[in-house]
Amino acid sequence: MLAAALTATVAVWVVAAAPGSAGAAAQPVPVPLGAAAGFAVLAGTSVTNTGTSAITGDVGVAPGSTVTGLTPPSIVNGIIHINDAAATQAQTALATAFADVTSRPSTGTIPPALGGRTLPPGVYTSTGGPFTLSGELTLDAKGDPNAVFVIRGSSLTVAAHGTVTLAGGARACNVFLALTRTATLYAGARLRGNVLLVPATTGGIVVGTGATVEGRLLAGPHAAVTLAGDTVTAPRGCATGKNTTVTVTFSCSGTGPGRPLSLNAIVRSANGPVASGQVRFTSDGAALGTAQLNSSGRATLADPNLTEGIHRIVATFEGTPEFDPATSQALELPVGPGGRCPEECERDHGRHEKAEAEAVDEQNPRTVRKDRHNRHHRHHKDHGKLVTVQTLHTLDGVFGEDDHHGHHGHHGSGSHHGHGPKGHQHYQKPYQKPRYHKYYKAPRPRVAVTG
C-alpha cells in the first residue's frame, strides 16, 4: 500500500484571483510552463508504469534515463523523451514555473483537509500539516475563465475516489499544485490541475490504479513518477483567442508502386493558418522528427523512416508566444515495404490507375510503359491499315501458298517452312499481338486489305 502518513509541514495553495473576490490579486496572472507545456508526465530519475495507461502529451525523464512499462497496450499520444534536449529544457522550464508560484504572496490560510470545501481564486496556505483530500474539492472561478489556481507546499494525498471539481469557468490548465516532497493519488482518484513537484533531495509522484488526471504530472530532477494503469491528459492552452488545432495526414509523392511517403500536419487557429512554429511527429509514441510550418500552416516530414505495418501517427504543435500548443488525434497509417506507400494507399488517394499505367517492370528492361503500348496499338489501325512484317507472316499462313495451305493445311503445334533464307513458323492458334514490339528501321510494307 501507499504510505498514508506524511511528514507534517506547512503547505500553500496559491491562486491569482479574479478582481473583486476575497483576497484577490489585481489581475489573474498565468503561470508560464514554457518548454514543459507539451509534457503530460515529466520526471527527473524515472518514469515507471504498470498496467495499461493512456497518456496524451509527451513523456520525459532527465537527467535520469529510465522509462518502463509504456509500451503497448499502454498508449502514449506524444513523444517519449529520455534524457534528451527536450526533456532537459522541460526541467529548466519547470524550475522557472516552480519559482514563480512559490514567490507569489499568500491570500489566505485554510485547514489542510480539503474535502467538502469550495475555494474561490486566491493564494492559500495550510494552517498546519500537509494537504489531504477525501471526498470533493471544488474550485470556483466565479465566471472568470482566466482565474489561476496554484498550490504551494510539501505534500498532497488524495484518497481513493477523491475528486477535484472545477466550477464557474475554472480550467485545469490554470490549476497548479506546487509541492516540495510527495504527491500521492490513490486508486480511482480524479485530479484536475498540474502537479509541480520539485523536492530538494528525493521525492516522487505516485498514482494508484485507475486514477484520472486532467493536467500534468511534472517532477523535478530528484523525483520519480510512478503510474499504475492511469489516464493522464495534458490540458490545452488557456490563452484566449490563441487556441490551435492540429490535423495530421499523409501523402505519397512520385509515380508507381512503392512511392515515398510523407507525413503532413496542418495547424490552424480561429483566424486561419498558423504560419510559424515547429511540429513534432511521433509513431507509436516514438519520435520521428520535426518540421517547420510554412505560410499555409503546413509542416511536412518527408520519408519518416517507418517500418512496414500499421502505425499510430500523432503530430504536436509546440506552440509560440502567439499561439498555444496542440496535439492531433492519432492517425492509423498502413505502411508498405521499405517504409513506402503500399498499394492500398495509392488506391485510397485515387491514383492507383495512373500509377499502374505508368509503372515500369523493373524485372524486365524490355517492358515499355502501358501508354506507349496503347499508342503503338492504335498506330496499326490507321492510314489504310499498316501491317507489320510479323503480321504479313500471319496473313501468309491464313491465306496460304499452294504447297502448305496456310494454317488450315497442317496440324500439330507448328511447322517450319523454307520461305527464303530465313523461313518462318506457323501456329494453329491465331496470331496474337506480342507483348513486346520490335521497331524496324526499314519502311513497313503496305497491304491492301479488302473484302
Mean pLDDT, range 431-444, rounded to an integer: 48
Question: What are the Cα distances from residue 365, in Å, to 73, 181, 254, 373, 436?
Answer: 47, 71, 20, 15, 11
Q: How confident is the model at residue 27 (pLDDT cuts 50, 70, 90)?
A: low
User: What does the block give as the cell for 381?
Assistant: 489501325
pLDDT at position 82? 95
Q: What is the DSSP string of 174-199?
A: GEEEEEEEEEEE-TT-EEESEEEE--
Q: Is it the case that residue 123 has pLDDT exceeding 50?
A: yes
pLDDT over 90 percentage in the chain: 43
Domain ranges of the chain: 12-233, 244-357, 370-427
Q: Return the closest-CA partner of residue 290 out of 314, 309, 268.
A: 314
Mean pLDDT, range 19-45, rounded to an integer: 72
**Measured between alpha carbons, how far is 336 from 345 in angstroms, rounded to an integer?**
9
Q: Return the closest-CA partner of residue 168 out of 326, 17, 324.
A: 17
pLDDT at position 324? 78
Q: For the segment 165-209, what is each residue's pLDDT rounded down to a tens digit?
A: 999 999 999 999 989 999 999 999 999 999 999 999 899 999 999
Among 62-66, 118-122, 391-395, where is mean pLDDT lowest? 391-395
**Measured between alpha carbons, how far is 391 from 419 in angstroms, rounded to an integer?**
15
User: What does the block give as the cell for 313?
Assistant: 501517427
Q: How confident is the model at residue 440 (pLDDT cuts 50, 70, 90)?
A: very low
Looking at 2.60.40.10, 2.60.40.3080, 3.40.50.300, 1.10.510.10, the CATH number of the domain 244-357 comes to 2.60.40.10
Mean pLDDT, range 118-146, rounded to an integer: 88
Q: For the segment 299-331, what is each residue's pLDDT rounded down to a tens digit?
A: 999 989 899 999 999 999 987 767 878 889 999
Among 143-157, 276-290, 383-397, where is mean pLDDT lowest? 383-397
pLDDT at position 380? 46
Instruction: Indicate the average pLDDT of the chain.
Output: 76
Q: Report yes or no: 232 and 55 within 8 Å, Cβ to Cβ.
A: yes
In this structure, the number of other CB atoms found within 10 A of the CB of residue 216 comes to 27
Label residues 58-76 b or e (16+ Cβ within 10 Å = b).
Answer: bbbbbebeebebbeeebbb
Q: Largest alpha-carbon pair distance within the chain?
A: 122
pLDDT at position 149? 85
Q: Going by C-beta distance under 8 Å and a sequence separation of 6 or more, which residues neighbour residue 331?
A: 248, 249, 250, 312, 313, 314
Q: Return the closest-CA partner of residue 32 out of 137, 148, 143.
A: 148
pLDDT at position 319? 78
